[in-house]
Amino acid sequence: MPLDHQICIWLVVVIENQPIAGIEIKGVYRYLACRIREGNIMDQLKTPLPYYTDINDFLASIPWPGRTINPDFFCLRLIKLDREQLQVYRPPFKRSFYFFALLRNSGSIEVNYDNQTVNNPDSYLVFHSPNLLYSFAHNNSLEGYVIYFKAASYSFFKPDFHQTFSLFDVLHTNLFNFDHATFDRLAPHFEEVFQAYERSPRENHVEARIKLLGLLYYLEDFAIEKKKETRLVTTQQILFRKFLQLVNHHYIDKRTVQEYADMLSVTPNHLSQTVKRLSGKNALTYITDRLASEARSLVQYTDVEISSIAYQLNFSDPANFGKFFKRQVGFSPSEYRKLPK
């Protein structure tokens, strides 16, 4: 088969199977052409970080015996088991859907997120946006409420869902660690959602989804009380959150403030000043930090070659990626990969 045909076939494979937007075709083309000439392309394209776009596929990976009929919405009730201790460990992964949970612990648990680790919390509330890195380990002493849903669940009657609830941060996981008394205070609000979900004869669970919106509004107030913060609903805050969402989706192929300002229909100066005023950081830092975060995840938690990661993240060559990584992380990619996980 001619070399060009081989390259075209491999391009289709890479683009269709990588859940990463904005791959630079020229970069992939150069990389694949090089690897085909070397005759070992299959060895170079190794499995990346696990990425789940389907709720049932994720449940199967835990593993969890239950499945959802509704592909966009699932309420999972965790019940403490009295049988022999069951250890569940899930290495780092990403999901394309939302997750949040209220959990009570009476055993051993470890939660890893945003390069932080929480060990053996009494109870905790966690909010996780799509495409963020997450990992956990626990036994069967964990109980509480877990909810998975996709944005499509609210596209009809809450199309601005992404801008409404600050608890779902596009860049960071929000986790609140507290005592069992606080769990008992919050549990009845979750019960309302779960009872509506469990008694619903319909696959779309409209009542439960509407009650979930009410729960999220209540939890926003709880978070404000917990953090002693004031809710910001100004046009500047809305612009800032839209900017963060765009960065989360386009950081691979868009690297300048000008590009994001164009998508938001504002000037680069206005965007930069707004971001700086609200966060204390400049807009370019958010773009760079998001790219660096993805680079760290791929280097630390996958066995994909460094050169492949460089092209996957749209760098012109591995050398430029190495310089970027060293500047942002403080280690070269190969040094960082050798650090204890």
DSSP 3-state of 95 = strand
Residues 6+ apart with CB under 8 A from 341: 300, 301
Distance CA 34, CA 26 (A): 12
Pairing label, strands 109-113, 134-138: antiparallel
* DSSP-derived secondary structure letter, 326: H
**CA angle (84 as vertex; 82, 87 as ends), nearest 5:** 105
Q: What are phi and psi of 295, to 5 degrees?
A: -65, -45
Distance CA 335, CA 284 (A): 26
Round the average pLDDT of the chain to a whole number and report it.
Answer: 78
Q: Which residues of 28-48 are buried (b: 16+ CB within 10 A; e: fewer)?
A: bbebbbebeeeeebeeebeeb
Q: Which residue has the higher pLDDT, 73 or 229?
A: 73
Sign of CA dihedral 229, 238, 297, 123: positive
- Nearest 10 degrees: Cα torsion 129, 134, 138, 143: 0
The pLDDT assigned to 61 comes to 84
Of 92, 89, 66, nearest to 79 (Cα)?
66
Cis amide prior to 19 (ω within 30 degrees)? no
Identity of the residue numbered 159? P
The domain segmentation of the chain, as residue ranges, is 1-45, 52-227, 232-341
pLDDT-derived band at 133, boundaries 50, 70, 90: confident
pLDDT above 90 coverage of the chain, percent? 38
**Across the strands, what pairs with 146?**
76, 101
Q: Is the distance from CB of 299 to CB of 309 less than 8 angstroms?
A: yes
**Across the strands, what pairs with 117?**
112
CB atoms within 10 A of CB 234: 10
DSSP 3-state of 333 = helix
The pLDDT assigned to 42 comes to 34
Is the confidence at residue 338, as pLDDT, over 80? yes
0.75 exceeded by pTM: no
Q: Pick one of 3.40.50.1100, 3.40.50.450, 2.30.40.10, 2.60.120.280 as the CATH number of 52-227.
A: 2.60.120.280
Q: Which residue has the higher pLDDT, 262 or 88?
A: 262
**Greatest C-alpha distance within the chain:** 68
Is the confidence at residue 12, as pLDDT, over 90? no
Name the burial class of residue 286, with classes exposed (0-12), middle (13-18) and buried (19+) by CB atoms within 10 angstroms of its CB. Answer: buried
Q: Is the distance from CB of 51 to CB of 96 less than 8 angstroms?
A: yes
The pLDDT assigned to 162 comes to 67
Distance CA 52, CA 130 (A): 10
The pLDDT assigned to 8 comes to 33
Residues 6+ apart with CB under 8 A from 189: 215, 218, 219
Q: Which residues of 164-200 are buried (b: 16+ CB within 10 A; e: fewer)?
A: bbbbbbbbebbbbeeeeebbeebbebbeebbebbeeb
pLDDT digits (tens, 9 = 90+) for 18-31: 333 333 333 333 33
pLDDT-derived band at 99, boundaries 50, 70, 90: very high
Q: Which residue has the higher pLDDT, 61 or 89?
A: 61
Distance CA 81, CA 97 (A): 27
pLDDT digits (tens, 9 = 90+) for 172-216: 888 888 889 999 999 999 999 999 999 987 777 989 999 999 999
pLDDT digits (tens, 9 = 90+) for 42-78: 333 344 678 899 999 998 887 777 888 899 999 999 8
CATH number of 232-341: 1.10.10.60
pLDDT-derived band at 323, boundaries 50, 70, 90: very high
Q: Which residue has the higher pLDDT, 287 or 234?
A: 287
The pLDDT assigned to 301 comes to 80
Indicate the range of 131-140, 141-150, 273-282 predicted with least confidence: 131-140
The pLDDT assigned to 82 comes to 54
pLDDT-derived band at 267, boundaries 50, 70, 90: very high
Residues 6+ apart with CB under 8 A from 19: 51, 53, 96
